[in-house]
């Protein structure tokens, strides 16, 4: 492979903010970015888990910084973004991965105004308002990458998933709207829609053989996802190689949505 082609996938010197980075998909994506040369700025509520995730990255000679904060508190978004910018060399964040999220799995009759607002706030509102804080610097340099996390429920309806599904359907449209607004400045905005991966949010699926096997049986590949399955698309969407792809949602689901 030529050196010019390899450079298209290099993230050397870049800084990426990853929300929800203390566990699951967010933590894995932060590790993939650091492995390609970026500095990953890990954002989540739990300090101990963040520190553990950052140390795991550093143990493999990757670069990681930590910002412990609760993104669900809207009034703190500007300050949290400022803390992230302070972790860079010049105050510029090159990309944002919006992996923080919540899925309460409530029956429709149990959904309250508060639980609805919690879900829509963290899954849909925060990815916009938080990301917007980094856009001026991305515009100034003519480069930026935004990766949102959609879901199977962006296009499929699951039991006990009304609020979550509404929020994740919105993520796909948010991604398109971000692309329409910011792509002319070199900021590519795309989304990844994972299938079933073993994370804290999918304990109810992976907690029993019946549900785990059911999920695997819905794919065309015949197995559930492993976090390493997200490495290639993470680096592609984050790198210069994806400079003509924006506003798209790509399902990483083993063919679940192909059936």
Structure-block tokens of residue 65: 């910084």
What token pair was written down for 45? 């509520």
Beta bridge partners, 252, equal: 194
Helix axes 231-238, 24-35, angle to 10 degrees: 60
Q: Name 165's Cβ contacts closer than 8 Å, sequence gap at least 6.
A: 151, 153, 154, 156, 157, 158
Q: Which one, of 77, 170, 154, lies nearest residue 120 by Cα? A: 170
Structurally, what CATH architecture does the domain formed by 10-253 represent? 3-Layer(aba) Sandwich (3.40)
Question: Who has greater pLDDT, 223 or 201?
Answer: 223
Q: Is the pLDDT of residue 102 over 90?
A: yes
Q: What average pLDDT does the structure give for the chain?
A: 95
Q: Give the SS3 label for residue 116.
A: helix
Among residues 128, 64, 142, which one has the least CA distance to residue 98?
128
pTM comes to: 0.95
| Active site positions, annotated | 164
Count other C-beta atoms under 10 Å from residue 76's C-beta. 13
Neighbours of 159 (CB within 10 A): 8
Least confident of 5-9, 134-138, 237-241: 5-9
Residue 176 CB partners (closer than 8 Å, separation 6+): 247
Mean pLDDT computed over 141-155: 97
Residue 6 predicted with pLDDT over 90:
no
Q: Is the pLDDT of residue 258 over 90?
A: yes
Q: CA 63, CA 144: separation in Å to the nearest integer? A: 19
């Amino acid at each position: 492979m030529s050196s010019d082609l390899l450079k298209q996938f290099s993230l050397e010197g870049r800084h990426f903010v990853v929300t929800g980075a203390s566990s699951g998909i967010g933590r894995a994506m932060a590790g993939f970015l650091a492995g390609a040369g970026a500095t990953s700025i890990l954002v989540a509520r739990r300090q101990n888990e963040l520190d553990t995730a950052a140390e795991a990255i550093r143990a493999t000679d990757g670069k990681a910084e930590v910002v412990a904060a609760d993104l669900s508190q809207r009034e703190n978004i500007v300050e949290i973004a400022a803390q992230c910018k302070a972790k860079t060399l010049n105050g510029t964040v090159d990309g944002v991965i919006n992996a923080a999220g919540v899925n309460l799995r409530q029956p429709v009759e149990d959904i309250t105004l508060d639980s609805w607002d919690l879900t829509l706030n963290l899954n849909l509102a925060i990815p916009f308002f938080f990301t917007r804080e980094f856009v001026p610097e991305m515009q100034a340099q003519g480069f930026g990458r935004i990766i949102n996390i959609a879901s199977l429920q962006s296009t499929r309806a699951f039991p006990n998933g009304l609020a979550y599904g509404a929020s994740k359907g919105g993520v796909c449209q948010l991604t398109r709207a971000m692309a329409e607004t910011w792509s002319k400045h070199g900021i590519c905005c795309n989304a990844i829609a994972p299938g079933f991966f073993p994370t804290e949010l999918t304990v109810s699926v992976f907690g029993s053989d019946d549900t785990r096997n059911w999920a695997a049986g819905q794919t065309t590949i015949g197995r559930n996802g492993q976090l390493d399955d997200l490495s290639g698309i993470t680096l592609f969407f984050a790198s210069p190689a994806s400079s003509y792809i924006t506003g798209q949602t790509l399902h990483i689901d083993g063919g679940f949505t192909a059936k």
